[in-house]
């Protein structure tokens, strides 16, 4: 039985993991290049990079962006975290996990105002309300991109079933919950002391992501899987 292109990509990334994450990222860059050739200059290629919190999405995305720019490709890097809802919207003490899964990020607004226009027009110039996990008010952020070839969008929950059709290529950063928590504590990811970081991850973020893993099967749906399981 012949493998589909998705199965071939997944197999090659998996095999490369045995050597190094650098080789894995090289395979992803090649997969992105194959997606780019048929569509540019008509539109940009949209690549989603997702995984659980503290899996290393931002790190991998930055490395991919550097590699693509070295090939003289115009890249826009966007973090879905900037489109977080404020805590009074995203957090519900009566149902932390389900509520955070449903309300963490303003996906509809992000795709409608920023991602889809950038994908199809290769340019955008908008001002948006942005936030982070501890924000109590929004801050304005301007997105100004021109002649973009590749859009790298990184964030949690990107491969919910209602959104993953938007992506030309989907990359899952594979990381255990144990390693992610160790990494989050070491880096003070939420600006919290270790005990509070651990509580936030075990109470809110990881339970919400277990819902995502069970409900949306993002790893199984991804085109590429990159293991990043070292703290």
**Model pLDDT for residues 151-198, shown as the tens digit of each residue:** 999 999 999 999 999 999 999 999 999 999 999 999 887 678 899 999
Percent of the chain with pLDDT over 70: 90
More confident residue, 25 or 92: 92
| Predicted TM-score (pTM) of this structure | 0.91
Please spell the DSSP secondary structure of 177-217, one letter per residue: HHHHHHHHHHHTTTS--HHHHHHHIIIIIHHHHHHHHHHH-
Judge: domain 5-227, CATH 3.40.720.10: no
What's the rounded Cα separation, in Å, for the pair 61 and 10?
A: 18
Average pLDDT score, the chain: 90
Per-residue pLDDT band at 84 (split at 50, 70, 90): very high
**Domain map of the chain by residue range?**
5-227
Cβ neighbours, 10 Å, residue 198: 15
pLDDT at residue 49 is higher than 90: yes
Instruction: Determine if the peptide bond prior to 222 is cis (ω within 30°).
Output: no
Spell out a b/e string for 50-66, using b for 16 or more CB atoms within 10 Å of the CB, else e. bbbbbbbbbebbebbbe
Distance CA 15, CA 7 (A): 12
Task: Give me the pLDDT at residue 37, please.
Answer: 85
What are the tens digits of pLDDT across the range 120-135?
999 999 999 998 877 8
Going along 3-154, which residue ranges are E strands? 45-50, 75-79, 124-130, 139-145, 150-154
């Amino acid at each position: 039985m012949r493998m589909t292109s998705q199965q071939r990509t997944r197999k090659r990334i998996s095999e490369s993991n045995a050597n190094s994450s650098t080789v894995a990222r090289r395979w992803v860059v090649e997969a992105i290049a194959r997606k780019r050739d048929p569509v540019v200059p008509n539109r940009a290629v949209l690549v989603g990079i997702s995984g659980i919190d503290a899996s290393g999405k931002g790190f991998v995305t930055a490395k991919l962006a550097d590699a693509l720019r070295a090939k003289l490709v115009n890249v826009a890097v966007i973090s879905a975290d900037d489109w977080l809802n404020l805590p009074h919207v995203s957090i519900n003490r009566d149902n932390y996990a389900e509520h955070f899964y449903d309300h963490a990020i303003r996906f509809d607004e992000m795709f409608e105002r920023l991602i889809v226009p950038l994908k199809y027009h290769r340019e955008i110039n908008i001002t948006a309300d942005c936030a982070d996990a501890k924000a109590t008010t929004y801050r304005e952020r301007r997105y100004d991109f021109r002649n973009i070839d590749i859009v790298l969008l990184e964030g949690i929950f990107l491969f919910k079933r209602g959104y993953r059709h938007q992506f030309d290529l989907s990359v899952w950063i594979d990381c255990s919950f144990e390693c992610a928590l160790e990494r989050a504590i070491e880096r003070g990811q939420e600006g919290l002391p270790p005990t509070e970081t651990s509580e936030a991850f075990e109470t809110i973020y990881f339970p919400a992501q277990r819902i995502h893993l069970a409900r949306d099967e993002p790893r199984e749906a991804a085109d590429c899987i990159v293991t990043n399981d070292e703290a």
